[in-house]
């Protein structure tokens, strides 16, 4: 399992648009095959950093998911909405793999 963490730099005057964008992905992402953990908007501290987090089985599954998302009507609309409203200033993706459970019970393959 891989976790994709998307760090967004957003226009702080367009937080409502980002929230709508996030709600739209909340419908489209699971429908297209990824396990959405959630979208997070600024609350305290930075007013420009927001995050989207979801899981996929593998990078190959990610590619298939992205193809489904691009073909999804709401997915296409959401891409266009972001381009039109220009609330996303920057977007960075980081891929992570879990190496522990919250209480240290998880044992990755090949470890003791």
Whichever domain contains 19, its CATH number is: 3.30.70.100
Q: What is the pLDDT of residue 106?
A: 59
pLDDT < 70 regions, the chain: 104-112
Flag whether 112 is in a domain.
no
Flag whether 89 is in a domain.
yes
Q: Which domain holds residue 44?
A: 2-96
Flag whether 27 is in a domain.
yes
The domain total for the chain is 1
Q: Quick: pLDDT tens for 19-48.
A: 999 999 999 999 999 999 999 999 888 899
Task: Record the pTM.
Answer: 0.85
C-alpha dihedral over 80, 82, 92, 5, to 10 degrees?
-90
Q: How many CB atoms lie within 10 A of CB 6?
A: 16
Flag whether 107 is in a domain.
no
């Amino acid at each position: 399992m891989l976790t994709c963490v998307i760090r967004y730099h957003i226009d702080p005057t367009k937080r409502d648009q980002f929230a709508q964008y996030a709600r739209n992905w909340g419908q489209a992402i699971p429908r297209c095959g990824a396990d959405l953990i959630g979208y997070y908007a600024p609350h305290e501290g930075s007013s420009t950093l927001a995050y989207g987090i979801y899981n996929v089985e593998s990078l190959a599954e990610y590619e298939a998911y992205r193809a489904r998302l691009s073909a999804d009507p709401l997915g296409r609309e959401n891409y266009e909405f972001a381009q039109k409203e220009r609330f996303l200033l920057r977007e960075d993706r980081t891929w992570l793999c879990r190496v522990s459970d919250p209480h240290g019970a998880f044992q990755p393959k090949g470890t003791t």
